[in-house]
Amino acid sequence: MIVLQNISKYYYTDTSVTQALRKINLEFKIGEFVAITGESGSGKSTLLNVISGMDAFDDGEMFFCGEPTFQYDAADWENFRRNEIGFVFQNYSLIGHYTTLENIKSALLIMGYQEEEAARQAVTYLEKVGLKGMEKQRASELSSGQKQRLSIARALAMNPEVMLFDEPTSALDPEMVGEVLDLMKELAEDGMTMVAVTHEMGFAREVGTRVLFMDEGVVLEQNTPYEFFSSPQMDRTKEFLSKVL
């Protein structure tokens, strides 16, 4: 569904240039759950930001459903981000003083839904992520796990083709991690196409259809979870796994 061909991305500062992505070639197919791991600074977030259309790339081409994106103008990218991609961040990006219901409803209103239908759908999505009965709670008053489940609900409500997660459990209180991973597992089982940057290797092994290891802006290794964890090929992958497993 999404194909990256020779994608490169540079960050320029006054004094330096960082190549965050180096000629990345990747394909994400419908129904896949790709788990991405790697050291801090290896380009994982940059990759997700490029896939989501939030960040422009400098070289190469990205295809969506077989169509090249080189002809996308600003409005097309806006449309792509809004309609095709659900993005879940480490730090939720919720509106704290809004209720759980309003957080989802406001997104649906922007999408053009009428008031009543937006409210109805918001309730359905709250239910889906296990927040039924909490419609009137302010987002700021939720536990870290509930906040993340709410941000997943809001992303799902936009009915995206693919869900992207950037370290969705790294900011959570440890006892809340399980409830968010369980929800992600449910989505994967429902057939949702997902790409997640995560260091939860047990989860990646159990739920992922593919695991990808990034190192210095390249995809150094990718394989089925079984192969990836049982016989990693590259020294850098082995070294990384020996630290996180």
Which residues contact Mg ion by CB under 5 A? 44-45
Contact partner, 18, from Mg ion, ligand ADP, none, Cβ < 5-8 Å per class: ligand ADP
Q: Which is nearer to ligand ADP, 51 or 156 (CB)?
A: 51
Contact partner, 208, from ligand ADP, Mg ion, none, Cβ < 5-8 Å per class: none
- Minimum CB separation of residue 81 from Mg ion in Å reads 19
Q: Which is nearer to ligand ADP, 38 or 160 (CB)?
A: 38
Angle ∠(169,213,25) on CA atoms, nearest 5 = 115
Contact partner, 16, from ligand ADP, Mg ion, none, Cβ < 5-8 Å per class: none
Q: Which is nearer to ligand ADP, 179 or 221 (CB)?
A: 221
Q: Which is nearer to ligand ADP, 57 or 125 (CB)?
A: 57
Contact partner, 11, from Mg ion, ligand ADP, none, Cβ < 5-8 Å per class: ligand ADP
- Minimum CB separation of residue 97 from ligand ADP in Å reads 28
- Minimum CB separation of residue 35 from Mg ion in Å reads 14
Interacting residues of 174 by C-beta distance below 8 A, sequence separation 6+: none
Contact partner, 192, from ligand ADP, Mg ion, none, Cβ < 5-8 Å per class: none
- Minimum CB separation of residue 44 from Mg ion in Å reads 5
Q: Which is nearer to ligand ADP, 28 or 240 (CB)?
A: 240
Residue facing Mg ion at closest CB distance = 45
Contacting positions for ligand ADP (CB under 6 A): 11, 13, 18, 20, 38, 40-46
Q: Which is nearer to ligand ADP, 11 or 226 (CB)?
A: 11
- Minimum CB separation of residue 54 from ligand ADP in Å reads 11
3-state secondary structure string, the chain?
Answer: CEEEEEEEEEEECCCCEEEEEEEEEEEECCCCEEEEEECCCCCHHHHHHHHHCCCCCCEEEEEECCEECCCCCHHHHHHHHHHCEEEECCCCCCCCCCEHHHHHHHHHHHCCCCHHHHHHHHHHHHHHCCCCCCCCCEHHHCCHHHHHHHHHHHHHHCCCCEEEEECCCCCCCHHHHHHHHHHHHHHHHCCCEEEEECCCHHHHHHHCCEEEEEECCEEEEEECHHHHHHCCCCHHHHHHHHHHC
CA distance 33 to 209: 5
- Minimum CB separation of residue 19 from ligand ADP in Å reads 8
CA distance 245 to 239: 10
Q: Which is nearer to ligand ADP, 45 or 146 (CB)?
A: 45
